[in-house]
Structure 1
């Protein structure tokens, strides 16, 4: 299935949905672009034909250069700016807490809000030519879409402060060394490798994947005991499911498990 949305291209194949930001030349993130991404994700959440999501940008040079500066006039209106920031935080939190793997496919520069968007994704694969940065300080503002919170959690406070206070960019290789991305590949093979990775994840047990994501993301912000309580909650939900029965049966039968009947349902057995 392939459809052209207003500012995003959407293509689904082998249970992988590719969302491509289509606002050349810089793939800037207007509010309407982000709302469109939110709508697409909302529909895909319950779609059994979608097991993983790839998020990329058109072209070979820019994933996203960040927020649409033409909308910055709202900064002078404190009330409206606060409403907008709350809305953006809700959207980025929704991506982070999505029950299916969301992989950022960084085809080029990920700057400002573009970098904050990829940080909200669960995983990231980058082209060797990609660059990442939070240059907001150079505009006299701060990262406002979660960057000041997610970046230190991903790479550590001192490295994060160095990047945010200077506004400088780092290469894909440095981002890999910092733990800001998972994989770096040649630009010509980026989308192929990203799709292969996403397809492998999409073939997994949906309930288990949902439980791992929830336990890690939600539990990761709590103390150990509270985090373990969330892990137990998810373990119990998964343990009696069709997925678990199929997985164990396949193991003892020495064959690959087939989870297709529970994709999109995730209903534990009574």
Structure 2
């Protein structure tokens, strides 16, 4: 199938894994309105693509994952907009990743600042190069994280550490990010993408419906009281028993062969 042409992204495929690279290296991969729109378009297409089981999100170049919002563009855009419209634009910025129901991993290859950290927080797992760094610098400009940073960061690393990181605006290096739970893996820079893709491939090799359903159970259940989450799990697990793949998995095991998933 032909790939859509993007100005701000590079989309490549490696087996059942799509690698989506932010591609504005001259601007440290700052997030422009065009990049937001193209990312939503790309993720919608990948979500509907049965040949793709997982996605790795990274940055082009060797300096930055993303320096966050393109402040020059946003300042010009928001100058003539009412507050309600500015709020809508901010909310729309995260819709693509937040609603993506296949596994999506971040491979943070350099600086992640502001909205760049927020992009990583939207992903299911985060790999970081050993030279990567993370900072919410908005407070130093009289601003604050506004695309989910205050909420997702505190849920990920705890309120006290989130308060310290956001209210000082200081930079956290890769090793500290690992220690506080901001990232799951720190690897040498040259190995970053290969390591992230390898884990994504391991996930994508499993039954497609089970993969997406299990992710939904974990993500949605985390927002519920335990008893409600357990009921959700039971309902989703019961649904999977009705799929062809749930019959193929045990059959392949008994026949000592790899399963052939149908995605239905």
**For this structure pair, what is the TM-score category when the shorter chain's length is used for normalisation?**
over 0.9
Where do 1:74-85 residues align within 5 Å? Answer: 74-76=77-79, 79=82, 81-85=83-87
Q: How many residues align?
A: 261
What SS does the corresponding residue of 1:85 show, helix, strand or coil? helix
CA distance in 2, matches of 1:256, 1:91: 40
Distance 1:94 1:58, change over 3 A: closer
Instruction: Give the gaps of 5 or more residues in structure 1.
Output: none
**Which residue does 1:72 correspond to in 2?**
75
| Equivalent runs, 1:137-152 vs 2, <5 Å | 137-152=139-154
Match of 1:11 in 2: 12
Query: What is the CA deviation profile of residues 100-130 of structure 1, one whole-angstrom value per residue up to 9, with x for unaligned ones?
Result: 1011111111110010011001111110000
Distance 2:94 2:144 in 1: 17
- Of the structure 1 ranges 50-59 and 1-10, higher mean CA displacement relative to structure 2 is found in 1-10
How far does the alpha carbon of each residue in 1:116-171 deviate from its partner, in whole angstroms, 9 at most, with x for none? Answer: 01100111111000001111101100100100110001010000000000001111
Taking the TM superposition and a 5 Å limit, the aligned residue runs for 1:105-144 are 105-144=107-146
SS in 1 for 2:25: coil
Equivalents in 2 of 1:145, 1:57: separation in Å? 19
2:40–2:95: 8 Å Cα contact kept in structure 1?
A: no
Indicate whether 1:218 and 2:214 are aligned: no
* Residues 175 and 167 of structure 1: CA distance in aligned 2, closer, same or farther (over 3 Å): same
Q: Distance in 2 between matches of 1:23 and 1:231?
A: 41
Q: For residues 164-203 of structure 1, give each alpha carbon's deviation from its aligned partner in whole angstroms, at most 9, with x where no partner exists.
A: 0000111111111111111111001111112212111111
Distance 1:86 1:177 in 2: 35
* Matched-pair contact (CA < 8 Å) for 2:58–2:107: yes
* Structure 1 contact 95–121 (Cα < 8 Å) conserved: yes
Q: CA RMSD in A?
A: 1.8
Deviation at 1:256? Answer: 3.2
TM-score by length of 1: 0.90
**Which 10-residue stretch deviates more, 82-91 or 222-231?**
82-91
Q: Match of 1:253? A: 255
The unaligned stretches of length 5 or more in structure 2 are: none
- Taking structure 1 as reference, are residues 18 and 90 closer, same or farther at Cα in structure 2, changes over 3 Å only? same
CA contact (8 A) 2:67 2:116 kept: yes
- Tell me the distance in 2 between the aligned counterparts of 1:144 and 1:60: 27
Q: Matches of 1:39 and 1:128 in 2, distance apart? A: 31
Partner of residue 52, structure 1: 54
The Cα offsets for residues 42-66 of structure 1, whole Å up to 9 and x where unpaired, read as: 1111111111111111111100000
In structure 2, the CA distance between the partners of 1:93 and 1:150, relative to structure 1 (3 Å rule), is farther
Aligned to 1:23: 24
- Check whether the contact 1:3–1:9 (CA below 8 A) recurs between aligned residues: no
Give the Å deviation of 1:91.
4.5
Q: Are the structure 2 counterparts of residues 59 and 13 from structure 1 closer, same or farther at C-alpha, using a change threshold of 3 Å?
A: same
2:232 corresponding residue in structure 1: 230
Q: Residues 89 and 211 (structure 1 numbering): CA distance in 2 closer, same or farther, change over 3 Å?
A: same
The alignment's TM-score, normalised by the length of structure 2, stands at 0.92
